[in-house]
């Protein structure tokens, strides 16, 4: 385990404007604006022709065509409950997008007969301006009135399985019986990582299929709010970022049947300063590979494989929201060998991190100082 003490409160800006050269341990780079005028961009997906799909949390799917943000949103997006942290959230392409044109969206789904929401997933066929044949393939049993902790990251592994994160839905961690917290009870999807077929059906080899008291979609559980997820391009392993409370952000390796321990164990305290956990580890619960105290408020993540920054190949990049930073984490197998903090306080809250087909690193900036937000790109300084 590796403890990083990265500051997260009111960081001092170090890059005044995009285009300036920033130095790092291995590469000098520039931050370039790709598109502006977005409202709470949450996720990025690259189309085969280089155009970029971007979700806006209030409920719009946008497209950047030829380097310009199309003013007209993509039609066919589901109705969302855009309250608190909820709305239109992740977007990913089907692994066979080139032939089937399928796009997957996660969102906070409103209940028609009350003021509640849950995490849900739809898919539709993208025709360039709209999603058609849209169908809901998954609805989490995680209904609640709280407007936070939807999880909602999506990722396909190389075998075509779809992984979905669902947060703890804001259920209070302060309880005398944390073992009965919804994230620890498996008759719901609260605080879980799910594994589905591409049509939403359940794989027969999921770890809890046929077991009483477990929903079959659950692949791992005991999660607070995993807002970042990536499939390792070499090993096909699934890694998540866990957004902790005040301290205790985590990187976790997702294995079948894992219990990540929230809120029984952890490394943080509650936002009101109250103690949540009696311990940081317990039998039967999976320890994090890495954690941050203080919290950087982890969000999107990716593992770099491109040619633009050769010394960064194999590094895991993690976006920080309140921490307003990009963490570059060096892996040695299943251990963290080091960490470098990039862009501390320089560009705002980093919601999503993706590698583009050009090998550059793209960032979705969420609510930049309270105004409209951009998509940014990291390019080598020599470009």
| pLDDT tens for each residue of 321-354 | 999 999 999 999 999 999 999 999 999 999 999 9
- CATH assignment of the domain containing 266: 2.120.10.30
**Calpha distance 76→105 (Å, rounded):** 11
Which tokens belong to 64?
């950047």
Which tokens belong to 301?
């993540």
| Main-chain phi, psi angles of 368, to 5 degrees | -70, 105
**Calpha distance 59→77 (Å, rounded):** 8
**Calpha distance 374→286 (Å, rounded):** 37
The 8-class DSSP code of residue 383 comes to -
26, 27, 94, 149: the active-site residue: 149
Question: What pLDDT, on the 0 to 100 scale, is given for residue 20?
Answer: 86
- Residue 10 CB coordination number (10 Å): 8
Question: What pLDDT, on the 0 to 100 scale, is given for residue 8?
Answer: 37
Question: What pLDDT, on the 0 to 100 scale, is given for residue 208?
Answer: 99
Give me the number of domains the chain comprises. 1
Question: What pLDDT, on the 0 to 100 scale, is given for residue 19?
Answer: 78
Q: Number of helices and strands (H, E) in the chain?
A: 1, 26
Question: What pLDDT, on the 0 to 100 scale, is given for residue 102?
Answer: 99
Question: What pLDDT, on the 0 to 100 scale, is given for residue 2?
Answer: 40
Establish whether 181 is a catalytic residue: no
What residue ranges of the chain have pLDDT lower than 70? Answer: 1-18, 368-370, 383
Question: What pLDDT, on the 0 to 100 scale, is given for residue 6?
Answer: 37
User: In Å, how far from its chain's centre is CA 173?
Assistant: 21
Q: Is 57 left (phi over 0), alpha (psi -120 to 50) or beta?
A: alpha
Collapse the DSSP code of 321 into the 3-class scheme (helix H, G, I; strand E, B; otherwise coil) and give the result: coil
**Calpha distance 89→207 (Å, rounded):** 27
**Calpha distance 270→244 (Å, rounded):** 9
Question: What pLDDT, on the 0 to 100 scale, is given for residue 9?
Answer: 36
**Calpha distance 189→142 (Å, rounded):** 6
Residues 121, 138 contacting (CB under 8 angstroms): yes
Reported pTM: 0.94
Question: What pLDDT, on the 0 to 100 scale, is given for residue 18?
Answer: 60
**47-297-5 Cα angle (round to 5):** 125
**Calpha distance 270→264 (Å, rounded):** 13
Residues 55, 105 contacting (CB under 8 angstroms): yes
Q: Which domain holds residue 86?
A: 3-380
């Amino acid at each position: 385990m590796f403890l990083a003490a990265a500051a997260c409160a009111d960081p001092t800006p170090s890059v005044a404007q995009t285009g300036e050269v920033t130095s790092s341990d291995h590469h000098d780079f520039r931050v370039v604006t790709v598109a502006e005028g977005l409202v709470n961009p949450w996720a990025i997906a690259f189309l085969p022709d280089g155009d970029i799909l971007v979700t806006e949390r209030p409920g719009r799917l946008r497209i950047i065509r030829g380097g310009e943000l199309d003013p007209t949103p993509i039609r066919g997006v589901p109705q969302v409950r855009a309250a608190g942290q909820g709305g239109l959230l992740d977007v990913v392409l089907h692994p066979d997008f080139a032939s089937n044109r399928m796009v997957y969206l996660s969102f906070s789904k409103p209940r028609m007969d009350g003021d509640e929401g849950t995490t849900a997933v739809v898919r539709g066929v993208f025709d360039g301006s709209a999603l058609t044949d849209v169908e809901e393939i998954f609805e989490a049993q995680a209904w609640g009135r709280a407007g936070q902790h939807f999880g909602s990251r999506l990722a396909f592994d190389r075998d075509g399985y779809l992984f979905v994160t669902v947060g703890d839905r804001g259920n209070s961690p302060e309880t005398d019986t944390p073992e009965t917290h919804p994230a620890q009870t498996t008759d719901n999807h609260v605080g879980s990582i799910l594994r589905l077929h591409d049509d939403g059906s359940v794989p027969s080899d999921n770890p809890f299929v046929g077991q009483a008291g477990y929903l079959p979609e659950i692949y791992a559980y005991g999660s607070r709010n995993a807002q970042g997820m990536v499939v390792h391009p070499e090993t096909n392993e699934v890694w998540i970022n866990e957004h902790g409370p005040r301290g205790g952000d985590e990187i976790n390796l997702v294995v079948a049947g894992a219990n990540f321990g929230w809120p029984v164990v952890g490394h943080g305290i509650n936002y009101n300063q109250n103690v949540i956990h009696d311990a940081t580890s317990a039998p039967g619960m999976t320890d994090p590979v890495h954690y941050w105290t203080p919290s950087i408020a982890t969000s999107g993540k990716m593992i770099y494989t491109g040619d633009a920054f050769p010394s960064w190949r194999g590094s895991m990049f993690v976006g920080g929201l309140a921490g307003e930073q990009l963490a570059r984490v060096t892996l040695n197998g299943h251990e963290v060998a080091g960490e470098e903090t990039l862009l501390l306080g320089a560009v705002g809250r980093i919601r999503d991190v993706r590698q583009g087909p050009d090998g550059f690193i793209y960032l979705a900036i969420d609510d930049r100082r309270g105004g409209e937000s951009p998509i940014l790109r990291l390019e080598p300084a020599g470009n």
